[in-house]
Amino acid sequence: MNYFIIIPTTYRGITMPEETIDYGIKYQIIKLKDDLFFLRPIGLVEGYASANTFYNEKEHKILNSATDLAGEEVVDSVFSASALKTLYDFDDISFIKEYFLAEEKDKVEIIVVRAGKMQKLKIDIRLFEELKIVENFEIEQGKPFVSLNETAIEDLLSTTNVDDMRAKLLRYRSLVQNIKSREKKDGTTKIVVQNGSITQIENRGKIITSKAEHTLGTATQAKVGASSVLGSDISLSGLEQYIKERVFGHDTEIRKLSKTIIMNFTAESGEKNEPILLLGPTGTGKTETMHAISSYLNIPLIEVNSVNLVPQGIKGMSLEDCLYSLIVSCNYDLEKAQRGIIFFDEFDKLGLVSNEYKSSVSQILLKFIEGSTFLVDKPTDDYNFDTSMLIKIFAGAFSNLFDRDKKIGFGSTESQTVFKPQNITEKKYFGKELITRIPHIILFSELSYDDKKRAILSSKISEYLIKQQRYRRQFGVELEANDEYITALLAKLDKEQKSMRDLNNLIISTLDEAEYEMLSNPHKYKKLILSADTVSDNTKFKLL
């Protein structure tokens, strides 16, 4: 489809100030039957909007009621210039109106009229990139809607016979009504249809895939298993790449970790889920790696401070409390919670507490690692939590396990002896009975200077990169940092004995004064340059 922007510079001989200009989307009206209409976006119109009429070169009806559908064209989605600036948090209206058109041009509207009142259904073709026809039926905020990928919508728009188009649209309306009734009946909130076959059903967050050919009205729900959770876009290489875009300096470790995580993620009932122990100094990326895994796999993650664990019945956080937190994070969907991640941080500190206390907690963790079922007894409900399919991660610095020859000076790394798993038991952290049940031990070593620099400039979770993109969008300013700025940042981090975990806060603090100036004088500057002086004094920067 081709789209254009209708832009009048004047209205009836009068030049219109920018702040008084209104914008809307003009639609072609296709009447399918007396109570069913199809609205195809034509382009962006610019002019002045009253309550019922949009004025530019000519007058257009604004879609307020069913009577406005009597003509060939209508204007909808009307915004003032100030409203668009607020909506997109940007002041350049020439950019905003192009962006607004890009947002709306691929959305068609289906209008159903009942008892003189309109019901709108928008079909958005941009939500999917697959080449094959895909239909997505979903309940959102209690209302049903359908989204189609580009192939599906082009198939719809290329239908030249009005009766055929009406039949297709009536099918969509019927299926939308069908998912609404299914939601009330069995909790179905999402169904994905590809080439006429259901490929995914979601029941209040619980994903169920169908291997058989079904129709939307007769599809049956299958038991959730690992293979049903695994989507076609999830892969070992995909997970590995996703982590590496966020965590630097551990390529070999990420490779091993990704393999183990995917094996655990794809395990089915009766297949062993293998725990993992991550070792390494604070700030080397262990926690961020866990967040990346949770995000990529779209599964819940709970972080637990291991030293706070207590046996059930003693005041403190029991393992059952941790499991309940996971259930709550899944909106009380037990089955979804049982496929999540529990990340026991500072696991080494648990190994340093008294032997009696450590022994009691270790016995509980043994049952947990083996995949036992725990009764989570709460006043509102009881849950039998099966831990066999949980992804179990333990992490800690374990600093006493390494002979360190620390070199003096910024940017140095610490040479470490080759780590041996038996060191954990020989140095009395934990007994063999517990440690031998964790088959995967992965070491995250101290980051080198080059790795830290790469993390600042390239990591997708780097505050520097986030700010760079933000300034470009909001102010039209390019953020530039020279090597001296990076060196000074890392030197300050080293001097204050802070870890990479503190780096983003340090970056933010160096940008405070520059942000104040850019907000005070929007669109005045084109480039922000940071230097070593900016790190020690955030008023020392260059705005050009």
Domain annotation covers residue 230: no
Closest CA to 543 of 531, 528, 533: 528
Q: Say which amino acid occupies 338.
A: Q
* Alpha helices, H only, 91-159: 93-104, 150-157
Whether 66 and 181 map to the same domain: the answer is: no
**Mean pLDDT within 198-208:** 56
Whether 401 and 298 map to the same domain: the answer is: yes
Whether 158 and 74 map to the same domain: the answer is: no
pLDDT number for residue 253: 95
Domain annotation covers residue 310: yes
Asked if residue 469 has pLDDT above 60, the reply is: yes
Give the residue, 8 or 282, on which the prediction is more confident: 282
Interatomic CA distance for residues 266 and 246, integer angstroms: 23
Asked if residue 333 has pLDDT above 50, the reply is: yes
State how far Cα 202 lies from the chain centre: 18
Q: What are phi and psi of 25, to 5 degrees?
A: -105, 125
Domain annotation covers residue 227: no
Whether 438 and 457 map to the same domain: the answer is: no
Per the rule left: phi > 0, alpha: psi between -120 and 50, beta: everything else, 420 is beta
**Sign of the four-CA dihedral 31, 37, 39, 40:** negative
Domain annotation covers residue 471: yes
| 170, β-bridge pairs | none
Range of lowest pLDDT (342-346, 465-469, 483-487, 500-504) = 500-504
CA distances from 110 to 28, 346, 347, 348 (A): 12, 55, 56, 59
What dihedral angle (degrees, nearest 10) is formed by the CA atoms of 56, 60, 62, 66?
180
Whether 99 and 137 map to the same domain: the answer is: no
Range of lowest pLDDT (42-51, 90-99, 207-216, 243-252) = 207-216
Instruction: Convert the pLDDT of each residue in 131-160 to its tens digit.
Output: 344 666 666 556 666 767 666 677 777 777
Closest CA to 458 of 477, 484, 486: 486
* Alpha helices, H only, 158-297: 162-186, 226-229, 236-244, 251-265, 286-297
- Report residue 196's pLDDT band, with 50, 70 and 90 as the boundaries: low
Asked if residue 129 has pLDDT above 50, the reply is: no
Whether 418 and 501 map to the same domain: the answer is: no
- Report residue 308's pLDDT band, with 50, 70 and 90 as the boundaries: confident
Could you give the percent of the chain with pLDDT greater than 90? 24
Asked if residue 284 has pLDDT above 70, the reply is: yes
Domain annotation covers residue 535: yes
Whether 99 and 147 map to the same domain: the answer is: no
The CATH number covering residue 359 comes to 3.40.50.300
Asked if residue 319 has pLDDT above 50, the reply is: yes
Q: What are phi and psi of 226, to 5 degrees?
A: -65, -40
Asked if residue 527 has pLDDT above 90, the reply is: yes
Domain annotation covers residue 346: yes
Interatomic CA distance for residues 544 and 381, integer angstroms: 62
Asked if residue 201 has pLDDT above 70, the reply is: no
Interatomic CA distance for residues 185 and 285, integer angstroms: 45
Helices (H) and strands (E) in the chain, counts: 20, 27
Residue that finishes a domain, picked among 74, 101, 122: 122
Instruction: Convert the pLDDT of each residue in 373-399 to its tens digit.
Output: 999 888 778 889 999 999 999 998 887
Asked if residue 537 has pLDDT above 90, the reply is: yes
Domain annotation covers residue 21: yes
pTM of the complete model: 0.56
pLDDT number for residue 514: 93
Whether 350 and 366 map to the same domain: the answer is: yes
Whether 179 and 276 map to the same domain: the answer is: no
Interatomic CA distance for residues 182 and 422, integer angstroms: 55
Residue that finishes a domain, picked among 443, 462, 492: 443
What is the tally of structural domains in the chain? 4
**Mean pLDDT within 346-373:** 82
Residue that finishes a domain, picked among 222, 257, 280: 222
Rounded to the nearest 10 degrees, what angle do helices 483-495 and 449-458 cross at? 120
Give the residue, 102 or 69, on which the prediction is more confident: 69
Please count the CA atoms within 13 angstroms of the CA of 371 that sit on its side-chain side. 17
pLDDT number for residue 344: 92
pLDDT number for residue 233: 61
Whether 336 and 260 map to the same domain: the answer is: yes
- Secondary structure letter of residue 540 according to DSSP: -
- Secondary structure letter of residue 95 according to DSSP: H
Give the residue, 184 or 368, on which the prediction is more confident: 368
DSSP 210-243: --S---TTT--PPPP-HHHH--TT--HHHHHHHH
Could you give the percent of the chain with pLDDT greater than 70? 71
Domain that includes residue 217, residue range: 128-222
Residues 6+ apart with CB under 8 A from 266: 226, 227, 230
pLDDT number for residue 209: 45
The set of long-range contacts for 81-84, using a CB threshold of 8 Å and a minimum separation of 24, is 81/18, 81/19, 81/20, 81/21, 81/22, 81/23, 82/19, 84/23
Whether 309 and 430 map to the same domain: the answer is: yes
Please count the CA atoms within 13 angstroms of the CA of 280 that sit on its side-chain side. 20
Element (H, E) at 26: strand 22-33
Closest CA to 90 of 383, 477, 407, 424: 477
Give the residue, 150 or 127, on which the prediction is more confident: 150
Domain annotation covers residue 177: yes
Average pLDDT, the chain: 77
Whether 438 and 497 map to the same domain: the answer is: no
Interatomic CA distance for residues 163 and 36, integer angstroms: 12
